[in-house]
Amino acid sequence: MLNKEIKKIISELPEAPGVYLFKRGESILYIGKATSLKDRVRSYFNKDIVETRSPLISKMLAEFNKIDFIQTDSVLEALVLEAHLIKKFQPEANIKEKDNRSFNFVVITKEDFPRVLVVRGRELLNSHLLKNHEYEIAYSFGPFPNGSQLKEAMKIVRKLFPFRDKCAPASELKSNQKPKPCFNRQIGLCSGVCSSDITKEQYAEQIKNIILFFEGNKKQLLKSLEKQMKAFAKAKEFEKADKIKKTIFTLNHIQDISLIKEDVKTGDVGSTAFRIESYDIAHMSGQNVVGVMTVVEDHEVKLSDYRKFKIKDNPGVNDTKALSEVLSRRLAHIEWRFPDLIVVDGGVAQKNIIEKILKENHTDIPVVSVVKDERHKPKEILGDKRWLKYEREILLSNAEAHRYGIAFHKQLRGKIK
């Protein structure tokens, strides 16, 4: 249940990517990232918080009195900034949430031509050495709790700033060996350390760019890139200057749709995938009235969570009365995870009755309704327009509720005959 202060805090959050900080005074209790700061922070105050969050997160929610945020231009930057701030401030609810050894870190080795690697915490002996390897670590960034998100992030970073990971530098080859581009060099993901296409000094600048990026210092990174671009232009190396110009443009227009998908799929540490519940009523001339609940989670139907309801208080053809009974009975099951969004078939009347029952149960869950045309095809979605980003999932859950309701009604009618 949201109190007035928390509602005010949430109302001031932007629907944009960024990092949020739960605080008590100036002490940071928890740091998280979000595709939408408003939506993510709101999710912490669902009624099912005890069931879906860890004890540490529940403890944090009982102690905080302030929420700060840092808005970013992309989900990728939010991911990087989150890891940087967790490392810097070490909030209890972050570092004790899971064994740090299972988290991922990005490391840069201490070599003439440093490697950029992703390693597990268990591979780090300390901040300067990698287990079972001869080289030392110059820089490390993390922890990154979500391995699949980091994998997607590294694909974007490597396109921006090609780096060495496995290939041997041309400078280390024997005199009778010719420099040969590695596979990553051939597809533009290695800067050419292996093929003598980049000097030690130029590669050091590339590593500097990567460090600035993982430190979340975009402003300084852009300044550094502009300086490099001007230097190349002054030296009349226009091809290299143009390449950096394109990098600057890409950095300001990061296409991170893959990270947005991962964010919806996995959420924060201790959180669950975005869940939509859809409700529908089925009957024939007011007889054998039934209600159903269907679930879409992680963009897909979740058949194991579908539920059927035989209407006890026969409402006749009054669908809103039946909806009221179905939702009231559903909300009594606190052991079921509560949804992030509720979808109802119908119009304003159906949407209003759902919102009324939620309010009576002190539950703050957004509701949308799917309006149908004369052929019972979706015509309009009523509700806050920000939920239209889940249009596919809303329509899928609604179609499933209609199908499931009719099937249950036919099954029940068949048994009665």
pLDDT for 194-250, tens place per residue? 998 899 999 999 999 999 998 888 889 999 999 989 998 999 989 888 888 988 888
Domain coordinates in residue numbering, the chain: 4-74, 100-264, 275-416
Q: Give the Cα separation of 391 and 188 in Å (integer).
A: 37
Torsion angle, CA of 74/78/81/82, rounded to 10 degrees? -170
Which of 153-162, 191-200, 261-270, 339-348 has the weakest average pLDDT?
Answer: 261-270
pLDDT band at 161 (very low <50, low <70, confident <90, very high): very high
Question: Which ranges in 215-256 belong to alpha helices (H)?
Answer: 218-234, 238-252
Instruction: State percent of the chain over pLDDT 90.
Output: 27
In eight-state DSSP terms, residue 387 is: G
Which of 73-77, 153-157, 360-364 has the weakest average pLDDT?
Answer: 360-364
Q: Are 35 and 42 in contact (CB under 8 A)?
A: no
> Residue 269 above 60 pLDDT?
no
Which of 167-171, 254-258, 268-272 has the weakest average pLDDT?
Answer: 268-272
pLDDT, mean of residues 183-195:
91
Domain spanning 275-416, CATH architecture? 2-Layer Sandwich (3.30)
Which of 129-133, 145-149, 327-331, 372-376 has the weakest average pLDDT?
Answer: 129-133
> Residue 99 above 60 pLDDT?
no
Q: What is the pLDDT of residues 23-48, one digit of tens each?
A: 999 999 999 988 889 888 888 886 65
The pLDDT of residue 263: 58
Q: What is the pLDDT of residues 129-151, one digit of tens each?
A: 665 566 788 888 888 877 777 88
> Residue 329 above 60 pLDDT?
yes
Domain 4-74, CATH class in plain words = alpha beta
Q: Give the Cα separation of 220 and 211 in Å (integer).
A: 11
